[in-house]
């Protein structure tokens, strides 16, 4: 086909979202609700990392040193989950599997217990609700736990949702809100003067847009046409995940999310009301590789078995690997980039499902007003652009001659 014919299909919108995972979809849904003509470009909208993710909403149990700003963002999103779920289920007619079940994080040996004690101290310093339990108290809550469990943290505020249903619900809500789907890949950012102006798609068509949102998960750093210093510094972080089924005779197998650090690795078991039990996850820096490996499956089953020995009785129904969009500080990039007309909603790393409600609200605000809400300002993409890495002049202490 001649080039000029390839470009005969041109589409126009206010907002083009590149990427139809849960982050792209929630951005599109919220933008459409605000009256913006919105389109999404993705070969398989509703896919992506959410098809693999376990869906823990683990602001408190996945807290890490030095990530207090991210904690505030995570907690703000966790607080929105009940109302967000109700609104989304109403808009889509899809049950998203949100379950306010709480989490139990346990220790299997004395090193794990030390690790958990430190986490508990950090949680307390941050004013979070987490209760220390003895091994016996843990087993009273979850009788399937191994007899050797040495203690644990009961966190009643860390819940779960089903990411696959969440994606389906967002897709339906978008369709009902009038979002247009281009079921093909965006291959190049378009620009007009010094502004982003939409994207060229793999089928040769072009979507021109007042504003373009880069929400392509771990692929967000690879779109042609985006200036080098504006490309989000995201990388793929592989996670292998297993899905088992708890036959009805065995239920309830676990009544809440159960997790542990086992010899330095994290394992979690997320029980759904429908009997699915998700076991995750490896954390591997292997580029774009999504192979499920014997080693990955072995490690997950070995650690899960140490935690809950009865797991070996359950049918193993699915093994999958997905790619988390990791950023240099493990936090997302939200809002306008240094290129006018281009915004980012990416880099959510371990917290994409948790941050879905907040991301939708924050991005809709940025798209309609040009301003990022206060709570999201520390997560502006500008924190990674080279010019912002130099401290502002007023932070540089004046040079003082040292006495001889
Ligand atoms: N938040 C769980 C994970 O990324 O594995």
CATH, residue 256 = 3.30.9.10
8/227 Cα distance (integer angstroms): 26
- Find the mean pLDDT for residues 263-283: 93
For residue 284, report the distance from its CA to the centre of ligand 1, in Å.
Answer: 12
Q: CA 305, CA 291: separation in Å to the nearest integer?
A: 23
CA of residue 313 to ligand 1 center, whole Å = 25
| Alpha carbon of 193 to ligand 1 centroid (Å) | 40
Residue 333 shares a structural domain with residue 322:
no
Residues 6+ apart with CB under 8 A from 155: 60, 61, 102, 103, 104, 105, 128, 129, 130, 131
pLDDT at 249: 93
Q: Is residue 86 part of a domain?
A: no
Q: Which of 325, 322, 320, 345 is nearest to 335 (CA)?
A: 345
Query: What is the residue with the minimal CA distance to atom 5 of ligand 1?
Result: 281
pLDDT category at 14 given cuts 50, 70, 90 is: very high
Residues 184, 204, single domain; the answer is: yes
- Around ligand 1, the residues with Cβ closer than 6 Å are 56, 58, 62, 239, 280-281, 324, 350
- For residues 245 and 359, state if they share a domain: no
Q: Are residues 243 and 383 in the same domain?
A: no
pLDDT cut 70: percent of the chain above it: 94
**Ligand 1 atom 4 nearest Cα:** 350
Tokens representing 341 are 């007309």
CB atoms closer than 10 angstroms to residue 222: 12
Ligand 1: nearest atom to the Cα of 241:
5
Write out pLDDT tens, residues 202-248. 999 999 999 999 999 999 999 999 999 999 999 999 999 999 999 99
State residue 8's pLDDT score. Answer: 52
pLDDT of residue 368: 97
Q: Are residues 205 and 316 in the same domain?
A: no
> d(Cα 300, Cα 270) in Å, to the nearest integer?
13
**Where do runs of H (alpha helix) occur along 99-145?**
110-125, 135-141
149 in the same domain as 200: no
186: which DSSP letter? E
Atom nearest to 351 CA in ligand 1: 1
Whole-number Å distance between alpha carbons of 276 and 296: 20
Structure tokens, 356: 């879905």
Query: Given 326, 358, 383, which residue is the final one in a domain?
Result: 326
Looking at the fold, whether 110 and 253 belong to one and the same domain comes out as yes
Q: Whose CA is nearest to atom 1 of ligand 1?
A: 350
Residue corresponding to tokens 């580029």: 287
> Does any domain span residue 36?
yes
- pLDDT confidence bin for 387, thresholds 50/70/90: low
Domain assignment present for 59: no
In a domain, 55, yes or no: no
- 129 and 185 in a single domain? The answer is no
pLDDT at 403: 38
Give distance in angstroms: CA of 268 to centre of ligand 1: 9
Q: How far is the CA of 267 from the centre of ligand 1 (A)?
A: 10
- Listed range (109-123, 223-237, 306-320, 383-397) with the worst mean pLDDT: 383-397
Q: What pLDDT band is residue 371 in, cutting at 50, 70 and 90?
A: very high
Average pLDDT over residues 346-370: 98
Within a 10 A sphere around the Cβ of 7, how many other Cβ atoms?
12
Number of domains in the chain: 2
Write the CATH number for 222: 3.50.50.60
Residue 67 lies in a domain: no
Do 230 and 349 have their domain in common? yes
**CA 49 to CA 104: how far, in whole Å?**
24
**pLDDT 10s digits, 152-176:** 999 999 999 999 999 999 999 999 9
> Is residue 352 located within the same domain as residue 362?
yes
Range of the domain at 281: 103-156+236-326
- CA 357 – ligand 1 centroid, Å: 17
Q: Are 120 and 182 within one domain?
A: no
Would you tell me the crossing angle of helices 68-92 and 163-176 to the nearest 10 degrees? 60
* CA–CA separation, 356 and 351 (whole Å): 8
What's the 177 CA to ligand 1 centre distance in angstroms?
Answer: 30
Q: What is the pLDDT of residues 322-356, one digit of tens each?
A: 999 999 999 999 999 999 999 999 999 999 999 99
Please state, in angstroms and rounded to a whole number, the distance separating the CA atoms of residues 60 and 200: 41
Is the pLDDT score of 256 beyond 60?
yes
In a domain, 179, yes or no: yes
Ligand 1 atom closest to the CA of 239, numbered from 1: 5
pLDDT at residue 306, as a whole number: 95
Question: Ligand 1 test: best mutation among 163, 240, 296, 324, most atoms within 8 Å of CB?
Answer: 324
Q: Is residue 92 part of a domain?
A: no
Across 3-17, 222-236, 253-267, the highest mean pLDDT is recorded for 222-236
Torsion sign across C-alpha atoms 238, 332, 328, 42: positive
Tell how far the Cα of 62 is from the centroid of ligand 1, in angstroms.
8
User: Is residue 189 scored above 70 in pLDDT?
Assistant: yes
Establish if 90 belongs to a structural domain: no
Same-domain pairing of 125 and 136: yes
Please report the DSSP string for 142-167 in residue order. -TTS-TT--EEEEETT-EE--HHHHH
* Helix (H) or strand (E) segment spanning residue 375: none
The three-point CA angle 383-389-393 to 5° equals 115
CA 109 to ligand 1 center in whole angstroms? 23
If one residue of 49, 267, 281, 296 were mutated to test the ligand 1 pocket, choosing by the most ligand atoms within 8 A of its CB, it would be: 281
Among the candidates 296, 326, 356, a domain finishes at 326
The 10 Å Cβ neighbour count of residue 87 is 15
Give the residue among 246, 243, 242, 259 at the shortest CA–CA distance from 296: 242
Whose Cα sits closest to atom 3 in ligand 1?
350
Give the distance (Å) from ligand 1 centre to CA of residue 57: 9
291-317 pLDDT, tens digit per residue, is 999 999 999 999 999 999 999 999 999
Protein residue with its CA nearest to atom 2 in ligand 1? 350
Q: Do 126 and 68 meet the contact criterion of CB atoms below 8 Å apart?
A: yes
Point out the domain boundary residue: 305, 326, 347: 326
């Amino acid at each position: 086909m001649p080039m000029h014919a390839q470009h005969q299909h041109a589409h126009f919108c206010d907002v083009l979202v590149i990427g139809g995972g849960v982050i792209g979809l929630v951005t599109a849904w919220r933008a459409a609700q605000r009256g913006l003509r919105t389109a999404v470009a993705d070969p398989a909208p509703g896919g992506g990392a959410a098809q693999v993710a376990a869906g823990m909403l683990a602001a408190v149990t996945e807290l890490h040193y030095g990530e207090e700003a991210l904690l505030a963002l995570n907690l703000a999103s966790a607080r929105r989950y009940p109302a967000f779920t109700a609104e989304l289920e109403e808009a889509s007619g899809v049950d998203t599997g949100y379950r306010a079940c709480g989490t139990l994080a346990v220790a299997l040996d004395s090193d794990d217990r030390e690790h958990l004690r430190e986490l508990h101290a950090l949680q307390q310093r941050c004013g979070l609700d987490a209760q220390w339990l003895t091994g016996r108290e843990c087993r009273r809550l979850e009788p399937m736990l191994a007899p050797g469990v040495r203690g644990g943290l009961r966190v009643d505020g860390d819940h779960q949702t089903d990411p696959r249903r969440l994606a389906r619900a967002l897709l339906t809500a978008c369709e009902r809100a009038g979002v247009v789907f281009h079921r093909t890949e965006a291959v190049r950012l378009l620009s007009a003067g010094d502004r982003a102006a939409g994207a060229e798609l793999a089928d040769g068509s072009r979507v021109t847009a007042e504003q373009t949102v880069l929400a392509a998960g771990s692929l967000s750093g690879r779109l042609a046409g985006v200036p080098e210093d504006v490309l989000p510094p995201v990388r793929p972080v592989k996670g292998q995940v297993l899905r088992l089924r708890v036959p009805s005779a065995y239920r309830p197998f676990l009544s809440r999310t159960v997790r542990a650090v086992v010899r330095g690795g994290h394992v979690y078991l997320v029980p759904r009301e429908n009997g699915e039990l998700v076991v995750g996850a490896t954390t591997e820096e292997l580029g774009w590789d999504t192979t499920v490996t014997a080693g990955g499956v072995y490690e997950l089953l070995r650690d899960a078995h140490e935690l809950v020995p009865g797991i070996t009785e359950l049918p193993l129904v699915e093994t999958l690997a997905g790619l988390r969009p990791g950023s240099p500080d493990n936090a997302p990039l939200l809002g306008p980039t240094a290129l006018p007309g281009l915004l980012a909603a990416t880099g959510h790393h371990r917290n994409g499902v948790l941050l879905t409600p907040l991301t939708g609200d924050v991005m809709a605000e940025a798209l309609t007003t040009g301003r990022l809400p206060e709570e999201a300002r520390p997560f502006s993409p500008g924190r990674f652009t080279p010019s912002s890495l130099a401290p502002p002049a007023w932070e540089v202490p004046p040079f003082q001659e040292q006495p001889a």
